[in-house]
Amino acid sequence: MKKATLFLLLFLICAYRGVHAQKFSLITGREPVVSLDGLWRFHTGDNPAWASPNFDDSHWPLLRSDESWSAQGYPGYGGFAWYRFQVVVPAGEGSLSLLLPGIVTNYRIYVDGSLLGGCGKMPPHPVGHFCRPNLFTLPPSLATGPHTVTIAIRIWQRHAWASYAGGGPRGTSYFGATPLIRAQFQSGRDAFIHSIMQTYFIALIATLGGLVSLALFLFRRRDKEYLWFGCMLLLGAASDAWGIYRSLHSVGIRSYYRYNDLILDLGLFASVAFYYVLLRGRRTWFLYGVIAGLLLDTLINLLYSLPNARDYVPVPIWGISKTVLTLPLTLWILVLLLQRAREKLADARLLLVPVVLVYVDQIARDFILGTFQLGWQHRFAGRNFPVLSQPFPVSSDVLAEFLFLLAMLAILVNRFARTRSEEERYASEFEAARSVQSLLVPAVSPSTPGFNVENVYLPASEVGGDFFHVQPGDDGSLLIVVGDVSGKGLKAAMTVSTIVGALRNETSRQPAEVLAHLNRVLHGQISGFVTCCAALISADGKMTIANAGHLAPYRNGEELPVAPGLPLGILAEGSYEETHYQLAPSDRLTFVSDGVVEATNDKKELFGFERTQAISNQPAAAIADAAKNFGQEDDISVLSVHILAAAMA
């Protein structure tokens, strides 16, 4: 008897709920705003008649409005579904509005059978949307009361999202006076903006850091890590900004992921380049596998952004493939970082903890998201772990990224300061070397009775490797030694200093003996070699010349044949053959370095031997200027000797 009574009582309660549960009232309690949390009528499928206020929905089941239909007996359902409920409106209430929470994916709202509004594009050509909370104002004719308003919500859920996105409204709905509903809408919007302030903060810091890094790159073009770090930060900030925009506006799902995936993929490639340069990575099969995985992930993202592609491939499968293909990048970065930290690289040690925190947190969040998408768990639907709630929420990923940004900015600023200090030190050393070289290779030749000597020296950098030595003799003769040290910069300049010092201490004036002496001095002391040409011109115009791999001189616009010889510094003992000529009054000898012949223009054309020979009878300054204007690539030196006819007579 007791069981029958209890059953009857439960039946009466359920019958009462079936009649009244889907109806809400602004009259009860005279509240200007009513929460629509409660039981709404629900039915799967699609029928335009279900929007009519005269439709009898008493046979529809009741579902809670603040929970998804997946959690209430319709797991994984995708397609059309309808909700219906009623609101009793009192007389003289004025303008009324409905506030709906976010709904995935698209919906339309009908009030007493008339379309009020909606979000997204419905089938047959659907465009899925992340529909944010929205406010809908009822027509004035429906605000007069007393009146019962029938509200029907037609929802289309994309199949690819049905397995984990649930279905239906995702929060509390409100109905009532428009001013109060607007205030409620703005309050919820402000609260949401407050909750995403951490993302905005990180995006702002990343943007500033990216701009600073690119500015540093403009000052130091050789340091590519500034470029890649700036690109990585700006792409990350762009992804955060796009996510914030999606959080505040209703954005198409395909459009959102199309651009977001592109931004993220570019950011991943930038991170590969950045860590490769910063941590001195090597080209290994591991690295090639990382790049192949990223390329395949990019291709999958492009295919997945095609229309209706998400209806054929479930989102969990796409998410898992993305995680699997990008996991090698995470492992490569962590392994490379640990290796460089063990090698006591200061930058790697400073980055070790922040980078490990960033990627461990990312792996954990990807695992939670993947298990949620697969339907294995629904407790941890979010991807973030809260760390701090005041003064504004801070999650674990934001904290890790903030520490990473601080560490990276400290590294880059320190590297920039260190390199600037090194540049200043090198500049000081080059200035000292340039001063020494100007003393050893003077711009003005010594007095040479009977000869007019012109010389021009244009180094390719601060200091160069070309040299010349002009030494008049007491008997009216003139010794000329010109040469070129392999390589450039400070090392070549130091070799020039050694050569000029050896020439000043050499007592012999015979060209072959001079070259042999220089060869003995240089052998074993330099890593490269030196080309050199020595010529002794007597007062009566007789010239003896020996060559060690240098360009032959020109006489009156014609190249002089000279016996060849190996450059200096290659063999321990070198012998050099001498060639003899008789110079006539007014003859002009021109010695040039290979910087003249190898000058290159924008079209990659060489100045060449023909152009050099064509202008070889011009003054030394004209020859040097012509080669420089054509396109200087190496040190340019030109020395010309004009035989004075009066002196020979």
The 3-class SS string of 470-490 reads EEECCCCCEEEEEEEECCCHH
Same domain, 188 and 205: no
More confident residue, 118 or 351: 118
State the pLDDT at residue 554: 94
State the pLDDT at residue 384: 59
Same domain, 225 and 81: no
Kindly report which listed range (135-139, 165-169, 415-419) carries the lowest average pLDDT score.
415-419
- Tally of domains in the chain: 3
510 domain residue, yes or no: yes
Distance (Å, rounded) from C-alpha 286 to C-alpha 298?
19
In this prediction, residue 85 has a pLDDT band, given cuts at 50, 70 and 90, of very high
268 domain residue, yes or no: yes
Q: What range defines the domain where residue 323 resides?
A: 196-419
Distance (Å, rounded) from C-alpha 319 to C-alpha 23?
41
Same domain, 508 and 541: yes
For the cut 70, the answer to whether the pLDDT of residue 431 exceeds it is: no
Place of tokens 């109060």: 180
Nearest to 108 by CA among 122, 96, 94: 122
For 22, the token pair is 């889907």
CB 207 within 8 A of CB 231: no
Same domain, 155 and 201: no
Question: Taking phi first (over 0 means left), then psi (-120 to 50 degrees means alpha), and beta for anything else, what does residue 22 get?
Answer: alpha
In this prediction, residue 83 has a pLDDT band, given cuts at 50, 70 and 90, of very high
Residue 253's Cβ-count burial label (10 Å; 0-12, 13-18, 19+) is buried
State the pLDDT at residue 93: 65
Distance (Å, rounded) from C-alpha 166 to C-alpha 173?
17
Average pLDDT over residues 486-508: 80
Question: Taking phi first (over 0 means left), then psi (-120 to 50 degrees means alpha), and beta for anything else, what does residue 174 get?
Answer: beta
Nearest to 117 by CA among 134, 95, 96: 134
For the cut 60, the answer to whether the pLDDT of residue 29 exceeds it is: no
State the pLDDT at residue 292: 92
State the pLDDT at residue 31: 65
Last residue of a domain, one of 192, 224, 259: 192
CB 593 within 8 A of CB 466: yes
For the cut 70, the answer to whether the pLDDT of residue 592 exceeds it is: yes
Helix (H, G, I), strand (E, B) or coil at 622: helix
Same domain, 235 and 143: no
HSE (CB half, 13 Å, CA atoms) of 483?
36
State the pLDDT at residue 84: 95
Same domain, 380 and 253: yes
Average pLDDT over residues 573-596: 90
Last residue of a domain, one of 144, 172, 192: 192
Same domain, 476 and 614: yes
State the pLDDT at residue 22: 74
State the pLDDT at residue 427: 63
Phi, psi for 351 (deg, rounded to 5): -85, -15
More confident residue, 586 or 361: 586
For the cut 50, the answer to whether the pLDDT of residue 7 exceeds it is: no
More confident residue, 597 or 350: 597
444 domain residue, yes or no: no
Kindly report which listed range (70-74, 110-114, 446-450, 612-616) carries the lowest average pLDDT score.
446-450
More confident residue, 187 or 415: 187
Nearest to 480 by CA among 545, 536, 555, 439: 536
Average pLDDT over residues 164-193: 83
State the pLDDT at residue 516: 92
State the pLDDT at residue 3: 41
Strands lying side by side in the sheet with 588-592? 451-458, 636-643, 588-592, 554-555, 558-559
- Exposure string of 104-123, with b = 16+ CB inside 10 Å and e = fewer, is bbbbbbbbbeeebebbbebe
Query: What CATH number corresponds to the domain at position 494?
Result: 3.60.40.10
Same domain, 174 and 204: no
For the cut 70, the answer to whether the pLDDT of residue 112 exceeds it is: yes
For the cut 60, the answer to whether the pLDDT of residue 17 exceeds it is: no
Q: Please list, in sequence order, all residues whose beta carbon lies within 8 angstroms of the beta carbon of residue 162, skipping any fewer than 6 positions away.
A: 70, 76, 77, 78
State the pLDDT at residue 602: 86
CB 108 within 8 A of CB 122: yes
Query: What CATH number corresponds to the domain at position 144?
Result: 2.60.120.260
Q: Please list, in sequence order, all residues whose beta carbon lies within 8 angstroms of the beta carbon of residue 5, skipping any fewer than 6 positions away.
A: none
In this prediction, residue 524 has a pLDDT band, given cuts at 50, 70 and 90, of confident
Place of tokens 């930038």: 270
For the cut 90, the answer to whether the pLDDT of residue 622 exceeds it is: yes
Mean pLDDT, rounded, of the chain: 81
Amino acid at 300: I
Last residue of a domain, one of 398, 419, 440: 419
Distance (Å, rounded) from C-alpha 331 to C-alpha 309?
30
84 domain residue, yes or no: yes
For the cut 80, the answer to whether the pLDDT of residue 306 exceeds it is: no
Place of tokens 């640990």: 338
Separation of CA 2 from chain center? 75
Residue 564 CB neighbour total at 10 angstroms? 12
Average pLDDT over residues 335-348: 86
State the pLDDT at residue 386: 62
Give percent above pLDDT 90 in the chain: 26
Same domain, 612 and 581: yes
In this structure, the chain runs to a length of 649
For 457, the token pair is 């020296």
Helix (H, G, I), strand (E, B) or coil at 110: strand
State the pLDDT at residue 323: 81
In this prediction, residue 444 has a pLDDT band, given cuts at 50, 70 and 90, of low
Same domain, 350 and 379: yes
For the cut 90, the answer to whether the pLDDT of residue 177 exceeds it is: no
407 domain residue, yes or no: yes
Place of tokens 């239906």: 168
State the pLDDT at residue 35: 86
428 domain residue, yes or no: no
More confident residue, 328 or 645: 328
Residue 501 CB neighbour total at 10 angstroms? 12
Helix (H, G, I), strand (E, B) or coil at 441: coil
More confident residue, 258 or 284: 284
In this prediction, residue 316 has a pLDDT band, given cuts at 50, 70 and 90, of low
For the cut 60, the answer to whether the pLDDT of residue 648 exceeds it is: no
Kindly report which listed range (96-105, 132-141, 158-167, 560-569) carries the lowest average pLDDT score.
158-167
State the pLDDT at residue 220: 79
Distance (Å, rounded) from C-alpha 110 to C-alpha 115?
4
337 domain residue, yes or no: yes
CB 240 within 8 A of CB 124: no
Instruction: Select, from the ranges 110-119, 363-372, 461-470, the one with the highest average predicted confidence (pLDDT).
Output: 110-119
In this prediction, residue 18 has a pLDDT band, given cuts at 50, 70 and 90, of very low
Same domain, 185 and 240: no
- The model's pLDDT over 541-573, given as tens digits with 9 standing for 90+, comes to 899 999 999 999 999 999 999 998 999 988 888
Kindly report which listed range (88-102, 359-373, 444-458, 588-602) carries the lowest average pLDDT score.
359-373
Same domain, 582 and 465: yes
State the pLDDT at residue 436: 55
Give percent above pLDDT 70 in the chain: 82
CB 482 within 8 A of CB 593: yes
233 domain residue, yes or no: yes
